[in-house]
Structure 1
């Protein structure tokens, strides 16, 4: 059984994923697959260089992700071009890797699950949600951003309301780690039952 896990920036996806991982659930992360997809020598990196030029490459020959982010942040058409290139590759890598999964169910962590047009054939969608204020605080602290910069990123993502409406399951991440882990345990037990039925 495949569970698609998503949530806005600063919602706590990494923390929740770690809670599932300690229960021996296999995790496949879109961000990790994205790094593999644009590694030196990969066809996707060649296409990115051809499209954006060598200024998006570091001296070591690796992708300068920050430079690329800066370019696409204010250029929706360039962002769309990049998503159309990378997201099918990322999805395929995740599902290929999941063929070797030995856990009763596995998690696909896809931060932009709703933002892209690429469909992920998952059985359920789990959304990690938190208040806007906590999102802002966590994003500022983690990424060293100003409040306005953090808000700009949040504004580019789909709304919390949209995510919640399309979720099968929701984890509320507004409390402490113990409370979060209890929510994960309940869902874990539920997913185990579903995977056996």
Structure 2
């Protein structure tokens, strides 16, 4: 199957783009959603998280305190690396399983930490959703209620914007109003349909 890796910084609009490509017929696998599945109430990764970080990142009823965990890992690079070592392998495995089950012209894997985890090797094309850092900060502040310093720490932990753009095969500019997106999405969708028809190949998720 032809695989597109969709990435971008926090607040860039990855979900919006992925949802629209899904409406147009692409098969979408979102690694953030897989992470939430693995860490939901009773999720299989909760025991490992509790063992690594203790009860301070859990609520009294046993549910994961995502805000406390986020503060911890973005204040401490070692804690972030420990959490990633717990979550990234099962997320990758579940992602590959979902790709194998798709029956769509092409697959879109939404991976915020694409370059940080080296998973661009799974994809035929890398699609970057791009916005200026100032736009990221304002959108995340309104959406999540985080403080500007909290958002800046998250942005600083991700691949720099310039590097993402340099490593992209395709770019969608999401810095403007929503109505500017549709023509870009339609164009990129048609391009991917053309590419997967021109280069048919067997699904290969062992790359």
- Aligned partner of residue 99 in structure 1, secondary structure: helix
- Which residue of structure 2 aligns with residue 109 of structure 1? 110
| Map 1:137-152 → 2, pairs under 5 A | 137-152=138-153
Secondary structure of the corresponding residue to residue 73 of structure 1: helix
For residue 40 of structure 1, report the CA deviation from its aligned partner. 4.2
Cα offsets for 1:71-103 (capped at 9, x unmatched): 111211111111111111101101101111111
Mark the runs of 5 or more structure 1 residues left unpaired by the alignment. Answer: none
Distance 1:45 1:145, change over 3 A: closer
Given that 1:12 and 1:128 are in contact with CA atoms closer than 8 Å, whether structure 2 keeps it comes out as yes
Structure 2 residue runs of 5 or longer lacking an equivalent are 199-207
User: What residue is the counterpart of 2:196 in the other structure?
Assistant: 195
Per the alignment, do residues 29 and 97 of structure 1 end up closer, same or farther by CA in structure 2, a change over 3 Å counting? same
Tell whether the 8 Å contact from 2:25 to 2:105 is kept in structure 1 after alignment.
no
With 118-127 and 65-74 compared, the bigger mean Cα shift is at: 118-127
TM-superposition CA deviations, 1:161-188 (whole Å, max 9, x none): 0101111111011222222111010010
CA deviations on 1:104-161 (whole Å, 9 max, x unpaired) are 0011111111223566511111000012221121111111133333223212211110
* TM-score, normalised via structure 2 length: 0.88
Partner of 1:97: 98
8 Å CA contact 1:88–1:118 kept in 2: the answer is no
2:5 and 2:120 in contact (8 A); partners too: no
- Give the alignment of 1:47-66 within 5 angstroms: 47-66=48-67
Moved more, 117-126 or 161-170: 117-126
2:159 counterpart of 1:158? yes
Taking the aligned partners of 2:177 and 2:6, their CA distance within structure 1 comes to 20
Q: Does 1:175 align with 2:176?
A: yes
CA distance in structure 2 between the partners assigned to 1:144 and 1:72 by the alignment: 18
Q: Is the 8 A contact 2:4 2:107 kept in 1?
A: yes
State the distance in 2 between where 1:41 and 1:164 align: 38
Aligned residues: 197
TM value normalised by structure 1: 0.92
